[in-house]
A and B are shown apart, each in its own frame.
Chain A
């Protein structure tokens, strides 16, 4: 009971510490305090460690409880079970004890005392190491001594308290376990002394343990042969392979062919817009290096930039999401889609919006310069109409679901659709958008479009596809619930962090910064959930061509989102805002997270829908080109952006910053080219998956079917 009490207290304590740290961070964010990246990193790491601690405590509590339950459950058989868990020397010891018939009951050798000691020692050292690390980090990155002192003063007691509480709980747990093991062992020894049946069992177990394999049981000298025709694909490989062959996709699903066709239309449109949109992006990236590439108004940088962003936003990502959404929503509801027709109408509306919108932007007709709000309202109405149609379709599908509960994917997907409708409406209604009202709405609009639409929808998709691909349930439903509600709470607040230091109200800027801080909660819980779902399945990554996409997506989900938090602080915003760092960040997230997750889902599901697999080597080429390209793209821009911000801060002439960026812009163009090449590969893979190239067995099947129809005596 005492233990449970302690555990509860410490759980509450850890929970209290998280907002505490956040509040502390918000406190130092006042403009007259020096605050910088180092502090953000430390806070982020601390919060993450606290979350890990929390998880560990939960596990500990659960473990203890399970032991207790197990003992009660097995009752009499408990002793036999115990015997099975002992090793040979321990059995020897017990046997010799019985044989010598010693009167006194000695202390049996517990299984894991030594281990416990080592663990405790490691815990102490790791605690010390963490402390040392914190101190060293602060020294490196924080400039003002006052800040070092303040941070150290706050963090040392924090770390020590957490450490001590942990130690206390751990000791208690160890003690409890120790006394129980002691009691059990004593009972066992007694039982062996008194009960012959148990002794028999003991001897039997000892023989079993002593048995050794000859290592020749399954081998033979005969050549491998499949005389019964049971095996398929006998493939003996001698020597290492350069390219490991990956597992084949699971066999084709029984999905309504009409739905499959609809999904394929969505994904096909998405792939088309991806290739076109990134071609535009690639071209305007080159314009940084070669500004005189052309002097044609329709192809000028200012006009093409929104074409690129809107095309990959609304064309590629949104359509791929909706297409995959049609699969997920119906599948997890265990029903059929409400209306295929609505799906097509929605697709047509969205495509129409992108075609007309892009054309208008190139002709110089735009809404007035707010990012991602460049389409004028008639165009955006088309798009929103498409979204609303699909939303209604999804909700009606869910309403006729065959399952009682609504799977978490559907929360995310339907909410994202509802939120986008709200966001677009709020962004385009004119009543409150004169003067600075436009800017406040712009901050809200552009960031909600990213976070509450793309991120939210994608999380929904991953909550379905990742467990499905790993063939394991999602780690924790509760973490999913936490991430869901906390993302709505915090993400909605952070829009204005795009206008820090601008003329919008100071309190609104502060709310945005605090919200950005709070975003660590959904990001950390989401990441933990995905990584823990992977737990025990990491070996599958090497044998799969889809899992690497998931891993990269999750990795960038963590780093990209945390980077967003770090960028929101006033001190860091000072350096990074307005520079190319922002461009790097948006690609890290929209590409690293969203695009990679979408590819993961597409490669997972399309082969199962169509029965056609892409060539594994080409999927690999797509993956590596995209990943390496993204790194070449983002890292130079982050470095260059930081240097540019520092140059501005130091009062260097503006043109110095432009000259400074030249090599980084070149690297960006190179990275961009790799990314673009990967999309061409992707488009080819899509084509292969859709129809064109049948896999070998399918071709063979068809050929044999044809063979049947040909007369025996005909010439082939």
Chain B
């Protein structure tokens, strides 16, 4: 054919074909997406400190291991209350003249997703320890240490953020370990990452491939009748929600996170205080150097069944043995201080 003997025709044809397809799958949809999505009403732009923190996040290449996207599949439920929609990213614009927009959605989840980390893990103390050396709070972690975001000082100024690093991870550092501006900014950025509730009337996308659906389908086709009620695994829930601070052995970290092993609160046969702390947080031991406990149960949308499983896990492990609680007990306690939904609405 003639076209294969004429380089102008051949290469022009190939280029035009490619350009056409490029407009169809890349440029066109990108324009549409950019122009047809407005930021959600509840979202607020990053403040100066948080913006500086995002710059640190980008510079350190955190996106290599941390995604920021809750997909509409069931397994992503742990990372957010709802799947992300295009509007969630609408207020992210070009960083500056040198650098492109950073939605930081990522493509690899070697570490946890960070879409909602501000809600899930609001504790400053934990973040600083974790950044200084992740192994100090999560023994199995493979995240790099960001030691260079911290300064070593002989004496700390009143405004300095001093990090109480366990001795094992100090590696001969004798002075005070103080978070630098970069570290403060980075933690501020991480804490600003929160999923926003969709405004009323906007349909919330659903999570696909739910376990419930699969089980239902299995039950219907196998004809065995109702599938067994899902058991809540206290150990797994503890690992997901509590372990990063209170540790797998329940001993906490001296000077940062109190031990649950032998704790008065856990050994108390009346679960009221324990459940209340899980649902509402706690700041009663700051004087001893311990950090503020966030309202983990409320932040992570834990159901009464899940809270009961966690409580019972704490009550029956590491030598603890106190009275187990029932789901009804937990429900009663939660009811006594108002519904968790009300708490979310307030936030």
Cβ-defined partner of B147 (8 Å) among A295, A398, A439: A295
- Give the most central of B30, B59, B142: most A CB within 10 Å: B30
Contact of B239 with A508 in the complex, beta carbons under 8 Å: no
Give chain A interface residues in 572-615, CB to chain B under 8 Å.
Answer: 574, 578-580, 582-583
Residues from chain A with a CB closer than 8 A to the CB of B109 are: 578-579
Using CB atoms, name the residue of chain A closest to B67: A578
Cβ-defined partner of A658 (8 Å) among B33, B61, B102, B141: B141
Residues from chain B with a CB closer than 8 A to the CB of A428 are: 100
A368–B61 CA distance with the chains assembled, in angstroms: 9
Mark the stretch among A229-237, A263-271, A413-421, A519-527 that contacts chain B.
A413-421
Interface residues on B, range: 35 or more
- Is A692's beta carbon under 8 Å from chain B? no
Contact of B14 with A436 in the complex, beta carbons under 8 Å: no
Using CB atoms, name the residue of chain B closest to A407: B4
Residues from chain A with a CB closer than 8 A to the CB of B73 are: 501, 574
A330 vs chain B, min Cβ distance (A): 14
B89 vs chain A, min Cβ distance (A): 5
Residues from chain A with a CB closer than 8 A to the CB of B157 are: none
Residues from chain A with a CB closer than 8 A to the CB of B104 are: 368-369
A427 vs chain B, min Cβ distance (A): 9
Residues from chain A with a CB closer than 8 A to the CB of B344 are: none
Residues from chain A with a CB closer than 8 A to the CB of B7 are: 395, 398-399, 401, 406, 410, 414
Contact of B92 with A366 in the complex, beta carbons under 8 Å: no
A578 vs chain B, min Cβ distance (A): 4
Contact of A291 with B144 in the complex, beta carbons under 8 Å: yes
Contact of B142 with A440 in the complex, beta carbons under 8 Å: no
A306 vs chain B, min Cβ distance (A): 6
A373–B61 CA distance with the chains assembled, in angstroms: 12
- Is A217's beta carbon under 8 Å from chain B? no
A161–B40 CA distance with the chains assembled, in angstroms: 55
Contact of A438 with B103 in the complex, beta carbons under 8 Å: yes
- Is B243's beta carbon under 8 Å from chain A? yes
- Is B265's beta carbon under 8 Å from chain A? no
Contact of A511 with B58 in the complex, beta carbons under 8 Å: no
Given contacts A574-B209, A654-B240, contact A435 B34 (CB under 8 A): yes
A95 vs chain B, min Cβ distance (A): 55
Residues from chain B with a CB closer than 8 A to the CB of A418 are: 11, 14-15, 18
Residues from chain B with a CB closer than 8 A to the CB of A511 are: 25
Top-9 shortest CB links A-B = A302-B61, A364-B59, A368-B102, A578-B109, A501-B71, A653-B239, A444-B26, A437-B30, A369-B63
Cβ-defined partner of B236 (8 Å) among A481, A502, A652: A652
- Map CB proximity to B onto A130-149 as digits: 1 under 8 Å, 0 otherwise: 00000000000000111000
Give chain B interface residues in 147-185, CB to chain A under 8 Å.
Answer: 147-148
Mark the stretch among B78-86, B274-282, B320-328 that contacts chain A.
B78-86
Cβ-defined partner of A146 (8 Å) among B106, B110, B221: B221
Contact of B5 with A404 in the complex, beta carbons under 8 Å: yes
- Map CB proximity to B onto A32-74 as digits: 1 under 8 Å, 0 otherwise: 1010000000000000000000000000000000000000000
- Map CB proximity to B onto A262-290 as digits: 1 under 8 Å, 0 otherwise: 00000000000000000000000001100
Interface residues on A, range: 35 or more
A530 vs chain B, min Cβ distance (A): 20
Contact of B95 with A368 in the complex, beta carbons under 8 Å: yes
Residues from chain A with a CB closer than 8 A to the CB of B144 are: 287, 291, 295, 300-302
Q: List 24 A-B contacts (CB under 8 A).
A: A31-B209, A288-B142, A291-B141, A292-B135, A295-B145, A297-B148, A301-B61, A305-B61, A365-B59, A376-B99, A377-B98, A399-B7, A405-B4, A435-B103, A436-B103, A437-B34, A443-B26, A452-B18, A501-B71, A578-B109, A580-B110, A582-B107, A653-B240, A655-B138
Residues from chain A with a CB closer than 8 A to the CB of B22 are: 422, 426, 444, 492
Give chain B interface residues in 1-24, CB to chain A under 8 Å.
Answer: 4-5, 7, 10-11, 14-15, 17-19, 21-22, 24
A652 vs chain B, min Cβ distance (A): 6
Contact of A654 with B112 in the complex, beta carbons under 8 Å: yes
Residues from chain A with a CB closer than 8 A to the CB of B10 are: 406, 411
Using CB atoms, name the residue of chain A closest to B139: A655
Give chain A interface residues in 489-523, CB to chain B under 8 Å.
Answer: 489, 492-493, 495-496, 498-505, 508, 511-512
Task: Contacts A365-B59, A436-B33, A437-B34 known; list 20 others, CB within 8 Å.
Answer: A144-B221, A291-B141, A295-B145, A302-B63, A302-B144, A303-B61, A306-B64, A366-B59, A371-B107, A377-B100, A399-B7, A426-B27, A430-B94, A432-B27, A439-B103, A452-B18, A501-B208, A502-B71, A502-B105, A651-B78
B38 vs chain A, min Cβ distance (A): 9
A125–B59 CA distance with the chains assembled, in angstroms: 63
- Is A433's beta carbon under 8 Å from chain B? yes
Residues from chain B with a CB closer than 8 A to the CB of A213 are: none
Residues from chain B with a CB closer than 8 A to the CB of A364 are: 59-60
A501 vs chain B, min Cβ distance (A): 4
- Give the most central of B59, B101, B106: most A CB within 10 Å: B101
- Is A434's beta carbon under 8 Å from chain B? yes
A488–B148 CA distance with the chains assembled, in angstroms: 47
Contact of A406 with B5 in the complex, beta carbons under 8 Å: yes
- Is A367's beta carbon under 8 Å from chain B? yes
Given contacts A364-B60, A493-B21, contact A291 B145 (CB under 8 A): yes
A307–B178 CA distance with the chains assembled, in angstroms: 30
Cβ-defined partner of A440 (8 Å) among B26, B64, B69: B26
A634 vs chain B, min Cβ distance (A): 16
Residues from chain A with a CB closer than 8 A to the CB of B63 are: 302, 369
Cβ-defined partner of B93 (8 Å) among A288, A434, A574: A434
